[in-house]
Amino acid sequence: MYEKKAKIMNSLGIHARPASMLVKLASNFESKVELEKDDIKVNAKSIMGVLMLASEKGCEIIIRAEGEDEKEAVESIVELIEKRKFDEE
């Protein structure tokens, strides 16, 4: 298992478009990927799960994966959130 924290940087949080990007990215990996915020855990390959987290700007989420490509999965999601800021800014 591999996990990392990431902070939401884009101003509108994980709304529809970023959520779609995150789910599409997570679905590329074999590993089971989950997101956790305030003790709520959701499947990162589920659009509803990701929207349900209601992650707004400034909040921190944990990205956790288990499987053969777990490290790669977590790192690329962290990059999408923190570095690319969902290509919004």
Partner 1 sequence: MKNKIIRGIPVSPYLTIGKAFIYLPKDTTLRRLKGGGNIDGEISLFENTRKKSLEQLVELKLELKKLPSSQPAKLIDVQILFLQDPSFLEDVEKRIRSDGESAEGAIINFLESLERDFKDIPSSYIGERYFDVKDVGDRLISNLHNEEDSEEVKMGLKGSNNIVVAKRLSPSETVQMKNSDKINGIITELGGKTSHIAIIAEALNIPAVVGVNGLLDEIESGDEVIVDGISGIIVIDPNEKTKRRFEQKEKEAKRIRDEFFKGRELPATTIDGYSIDIAANIELPMEISCIKKYGAKGVGLLRTEFLYLTSDSIPDEEMQYRFYSEVADTCSPDYVIVRTFDLGGDKIFKTEIKEEANPFLGWRGIRFALSNEGIFRTQLRAILRASAKGNIRLLIPMVSTVGEMIKVRRIVGEIMEELKTEGQSFDENIEIGAMVEIPSICLLADRFAGVVDFFSIGTNDLTQYTLAVDRGNKRVSKLYDHLDPSVIKLMKMTVEKAHQNHKWVGVCGEIAGDLVAVPLLIGLEVDEFSVPPSFIPQIKNVIRGLSLKEAKELLGQAEKKESAIEVRGFLKDELLKRFPSLKDILVEDEK
Q: Does 17 bind partner 1 (CB under 8 A)?
A: yes
In the complex, the smallest distance separating the C-beta of residue 7 from partner 1, rounded to whole angstroms, is 17
Strand, helix or coil at 41? Answer: strand
Number of residues engaging partner 1 in binding (CB under 8 A): 20
Tokens of 82: 């923190």
Closest distance of CB 43 from partner 1, Å: 6
CB-hemisphere CA count at 13 Å for 59?
A: 15
| Binding-site member from 48, 58, 60, 66 for partner 1 (CB under 8 A) | 48
Does residue 20 bind partner 1 (CB under 8 A)?
yes
- Catalytic residue from among 4, 13, 15, 69: 15
Tokens of 50: 């990701």
| 41-46-47-50 Cα dihedral, nearest 10 degrees | 10
Residue type, 27: S
Of the candidate residues 6, 19, 33, 73, the single one contacting partner 1 (CB under 8 A): 19
Residues that are catalytic: 15
